[in-house]
Structure 1
Amino acid sequence: MLVDDHPVVRAGLRSILDSFGDITVVAEGSDGADAQDATVENVDVVVMDIQMAGTDG
């Protein structure tokens, strides 16, 4: 799961992670509240910005 308040950063991270065959980005969010609200199963890793507007990482 990717969580960052900048869509361009999320897109860049997704592009990098998608280049690996064994990594699948299953969800994205724009702040910590999105991460908390996500009910995605099979999330092993959350890549989250630690400083965001609203609820941060």
Structure 2
Amino acid sequence: MKVLFRLSKRITINLLNALFDENFIVNEVAIEYSNSEFTGDDYERIIGDIFVDVRTKEHV
């Protein structure tokens, strides 16, 4: 899955739209890939495979 999200912007948007029933338009969003490791207040490590931040022009 992680590889699919990084292939291309068009593929990523289409995949997000299909998986989460969204209606993002490729030319109207920006995609950023965030750090996948976080440390909580109790110093516990949280590790994810991938964090994707999708911003529309209205919410940049």
Range of TM-score over shorter length: 0.3 to 0.5
Q: Which has the higher strand share?
A: 2
Q: When you count helix as a share of all residues, which structure comes out higher?
A: 2
Structure label with greater radius of gyration: 2
